[in-house]
Amino acid sequence: MSDEKSKKKLSSGVIVLIIVLVAVVLLGVAQIVSAFSDGSIKANKQKNNSIPRSSGKYVAELYIDGTILDKSETYNQEWLLSTIEQLKNDPKNEGILLYIDSPGGAVYQSDEAYLALMDYRAEKPVWAYFGSLAASGGYYIGCSAEKIAANRNTLTGSIGVIAGRSVDLTGLMSKYGIKMTTVTAGKNKNMMGIDSPFTEEQKKIMQDLADECYEQFVEIVADSRDLSIAQTKQLADGRIYTAKQAKENGLIDEICSLQDFETQFKEFLRNDKITFQELKYEREKKFYEDFFSSFSKIKNPKTEFEMIQEVITTDMTYPAYLYQAN
């Protein structure tokens, strides 16, 4: 009996050892493949806070991609600010061409990026090109540019502010006998909570916050696009514009391809030999993240309801504009 137990323990140990060895081999292969694949990608694709080494003068094609928050899969505020600072101090860098493809995001991060680019612009030129969507905070950052162009199918604008969203479930909870109590100190501490009615006083508090952010946004646009405050407010009702409408209203300068815009930048710099270095943030994933994520998706595919839940519960610092594009 003891021999059988020993054999079973030995067998189990061998199986565990094999599993561990297989995992190590797979991880090693993944790292090797990753190293080769990184080499096949343009060397200027950035995954950290370093800028590319260049043998000559270059323009940084700096991507603002995705929702503007502290960090996400495609956007990282710390990386962006650090990159702008490094470019400002790099004698080989001759300018920044922003490529913006963003629905917007948090006011704080948008303004922080705008101010960093304006500081850079005091020494070197900043131009902006809009991709498929450059709205709200994306447009806000674009206002740091001396010249703005867009693809003919771009959607832009959305000059406005969302200061929060209140969902009052007290009636529904009462109907089904659900009781929820939040203990607070300060009568407005729980404002916009699902277990608390949204009072007129609280609406005014949030409206004042939105209005202050809105006035700042309007001033930025008016200054950037050489418009009066009155003209800007006529345009700044939160709507989005096509590229053609944006050009007609003075929100962008022209409609063209990215390649044409690069050529114009070269002409502006009077250097047709200058190169463009693409700087794009992409979060580095560990092998096991993709490995287990793939198994999770196979085992537990998301329902349509779960995907909708993800959209409406996205972690966002308000005030903000959030747009989910497929």
Q: How does pLDDT run across 179-229, given as a tens digit for each residue? A: 877 888 888 888 877 778 888 888 898 888 889 999 999 999 999 999 999
pTM comes to: 0.74
- Percent of the chain with pLDDT strictly greater than 90: 51
CA dist., res. 95 & res. 59, Å (int): 5
- Are residue 75 and residue 135 in the same domain, yes or no? yes
**Measured CA distances, 123 to 94, 118, 130 (Å):** 10, 9, 23
Number of domains in the chain: 2
Q: Tokens for 11?
A: 């067998």
Q: Is-contact 159 236, C-beta < 8 A?
A: yes
- Are residue 127 and residue 49 in the same domain, yes or no? yes
Q: Is-contact 280 46, C-beta < 8 A?
A: yes
Q: What average pLDDT score do residues 264-279 get? A: 94
pLDDT at 158 over 60: yes
- Indicate which residue of 102, 110, 136, 196 is catalytic: 136
Q: What average pLDDT score do residues 94-115 get? A: 95
- Are residue 224 and residue 113 in the same domain, yes or no? no
- Indicate which residue of 7, 8, 71, 189 is catalytic: 189
Q: Which is higher by pLDDT, 179 or 8?
A: 179
Give how far the C-alpha of residue 253 lies from the chain's centroid of Cα atoms, to the nearest Å: 24
Domain hosting 185: range is 160-228
CA dist., res. 243 & res. 157, Å (int): 9
Does a structural domain hold residue 22?
no
- Are residue 173 and residue 150 in the same domain, yes or no? no
pLDDT at 16 over 60: no
Q: Is-contact 102 138, C-beta < 8 A?
A: yes
- Are residue 66 and residue 112 in the same domain, yes or no? yes
- Are residue 78 and residue 177 in the same domain, yes or no? no
- Are residue 140 and residue 191 in the same domain, yes or no? no
Burial readout 271-283 (b: 16 or more C-beta within 10 A, e: otherwise):
eeebbbbbbbbbe
- Are residue 262 and residue 168 in the same domain, yes or no? no
Q: Is-contact 193 172, C-beta < 8 A?
A: no
What is the reported pLDDT for 47? 46
- Are residue 148 and residue 277 in the same domain, yes or no? yes
Q: Is-contact 152 255, C-beta < 8 A?
A: yes
Confidence of residue 251 (pLDDT cuts 50, 70, 90): very high
Q: What is the pLDDT of residues 74-89, one digit of tens each?
A: 999 999 999 999 999 9
CA dist., res. 149 & res. 254, Å (int): 5
CA dist., res. 82 & res. 49, Å (int): 6
- Are residue 94 and residue 207 in the same domain, yes or no? no
Active-site residue, 55 included: no
Q: Which is higher by pLDDT, 100 or 32?
A: 100
- Are residue 52 and residue 98 in the same domain, yes or no? yes
Q: Which of 138-142, 299-303, 308-312 has the highest mean pLDDT?
A: 138-142
Q: What is the CATH number of the domain that holds 83?
A: 3.90.226.10
Give the count of beta carbons closer than 10 Å to the beta carbon of residue 66: 17
